[in-house]
């Protein structure tokens, strides 16, 4: 749903401020009877109540978060903003806030700094949830490809624990390969998060491979590639002092870097192995 118009946003704040002390019927009667609230029409009050109900704001009416902040965050999270998925790149400081966010902030009497903080918080929650969803889909898709393409035992160890430092183990008498899978739906660039534990695992485990999985919108795999270990080592941050240590980093892999398929599995491929894994399908630029 789009970001509501200014009167509906203000009405939503009034609902959230008064509902903890009174039922909806009494609050609505207050809005209708007193001139103090007549700057907003009954239709707009009704639209605001339906909006806070549909976006889940009625679930915790006793939240300690100010009502205007809750309304703003919900408007951004549910506002179908195309920029939100890339807010960490597109909105790096308050003066880069998009027009819809600025209009909502102005309607609610929020400063640009307050709005920026809320946008960063909303993006963090949306991004984390999306990464979990897409990451799980990528692991499952990769396992399905492997199952029909290699002569080996395949285990999704990430289901047991996140302590391995990789997601999928491929084992056979000939060799073992440990795959850390990173997944995206995007075609324009491949951005990923690498934890310090995953990186440390790469350094001590010669069987560790960083594998990129690109999915179509229907979550079907369309491309698979491997990122060379040397490239990873050259682009992670450096710990400069004993008192500081990075624990997670954000990497953007240029299209020229990944090697199509998973070359480390070459000895295990069956005659009808998927071209996505053997590299014959290539990697989109």
* pLDDT tens digits for range 63-102: 999 999 999 999 999 988 888 988 888 899 999 999 999 9
Q: Among 174, 155, 157, which residue's Cα sits nearest to residue 266?
A: 174
Residues 179, 266 within the same domain = yes
| SS3 (DSSP) at 57 | coil
262 falls within a domain: yes
CA–CA separation, 207 vs 168, rounded Å?
A: 11
**Angle, CA of 220, 183 and 180, to the nearest 5°:** 120
| Cβ proximity of 106 and 7 under 8 Å | no
Could you tell me if 59 and 177 lie in one domain?
no
Query: Do 196 and 241 belong to one domain?
Result: yes
How do residues 150-173 score in pLDDT, each as one tens digit? 999 999 999 998 899 999 999 999
User: How is residue 3 annotated by DSSP?
Assistant: P
Quick one: pLDDT at residue 23?
93
**CB within 8 Å of 210: residues ≥ 6 apart:** 180, 182, 194, 202, 226, 227, 229, 232
Residue 118 lies in a domain: no
The 10s digit of each residue's pLDDT in 255-270 is 999 999 999 999 999 9
Please report the pLDDT score of residue 246 as a whole number. Answer: 92
Instruction: Indicate if the pLDDT at residue 243 is higher than 90.
Output: no
Do residues 166 and 223 share a domain? yes
Is the residue at 104 inside a domain? yes
- Asked if 226 contacts 264 with a C-beta cutoff of 8 angstroms, the reply is yes
Q: What is the CATH number of the domain that holds 191?
A: 3.40.1350
Domain of 199, in residue numbers: 141-278
Closest CA to 170 of 214, 138, 140, 207: 207
Last residue of a domain, one of 110, 126, 159: 110
DSSP assignment, residue 276? Answer: H
Domain match, 147 and 215 both: yes
The predicted pLDDT at position 210 comes to: 98
- Determine the distance from the C-alpha atom of residue 83 to the mean position of all C-alpha atoms in its chain, rounded to a whole number: 13
The two structure tokens encoding residue 28: 């609505």
Distance CA 79, CA 268 (A): 48
Q: Do both 182 and 273 map to the same domain?
A: yes
Residues 272 and 148 in one domain: yes
User: pLDDT > 90: what percent of the chain?
Assistant: 83
Domain count, the chain: 2
Alpha carbon distance 41, 192 (integer Å): 47
Do residue 161 and residue 94 come from a single domain?
A: no
Confirm whether 134 is domain-assigned: no
- Say if 115 falls within a structural domain: no
Residues 167, 270 share a domain: yes
Are 77 and 145 in the same domain?
no
For residues 268 and 158, membership in a common domain is answered with yes
149 by DSSP, 3-state: which?
coil
Give the separation between CA 191 and CA 189, rounded to whole angstroms.
6
- What stretches of 132-229 adopt beta strand conformation (E)? 153-155, 168-171, 176-184, 190-195, 208-215, 221-227
Whether residues 96 and 183 share a domain: the answer is no
């Amino acid at each position: 749903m789009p970001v509501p118009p200014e009167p509906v946003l203000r009405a939503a704040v009034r609902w959230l401020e008064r509902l903890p002390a009174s039922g909806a019927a009494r609050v609505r009667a207050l809005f209708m009877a007193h001139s103090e609230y007549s700057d907003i029409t009954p239709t707009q009050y009704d639209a605001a109540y339906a909006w806070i109900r549909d976006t889940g704001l009625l679930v915790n009416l006793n939240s300690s978060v100010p009502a205007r902040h809750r309304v703003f965050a919900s408007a951004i999270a549910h506002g179908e903003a195309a920029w939100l998925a890339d807010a960490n790149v597109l909105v790096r400081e308050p003066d880069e806030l998009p027009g819809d966010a600025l209009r909502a902030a102005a309607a609610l009497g929020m400063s640009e700094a307050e709005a920026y903080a809320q946008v960063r918080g909303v993006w963090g929650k949306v991004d984390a949830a999306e990464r979990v969803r897409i990451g799980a889909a990528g692991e499952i898709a990769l396992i399905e490809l492997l199952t029909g393409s290699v002569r080996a035992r395949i285990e999704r160890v990430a289901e047991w624990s996140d302590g391995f430092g990789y997601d999928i183990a491929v084992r056979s008498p000939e060799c073992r390969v440990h795959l850390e899978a990173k997944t995206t739906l995007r075609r324009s660039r491949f951005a990923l998060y690498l934890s310090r534990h995953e990186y440390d695992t790469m350094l001590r485990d010669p069987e560790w491979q960083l594998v990129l999985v690109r999915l179509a919108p229907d979550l079907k795999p369309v491309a698979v590639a491997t990122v060379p270990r040397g490239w990873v080592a050259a682009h992670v941050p450096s710990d400069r002092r004993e008192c500081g240590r990075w624990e997670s980093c954000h990497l953007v892999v240029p299209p020229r870097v990944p090697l199509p398929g998973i070359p480390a599995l070459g000895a295990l491929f069956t005659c009808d192995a998927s071209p996505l894994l053997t590299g014959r399908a290539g990697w989109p630029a």
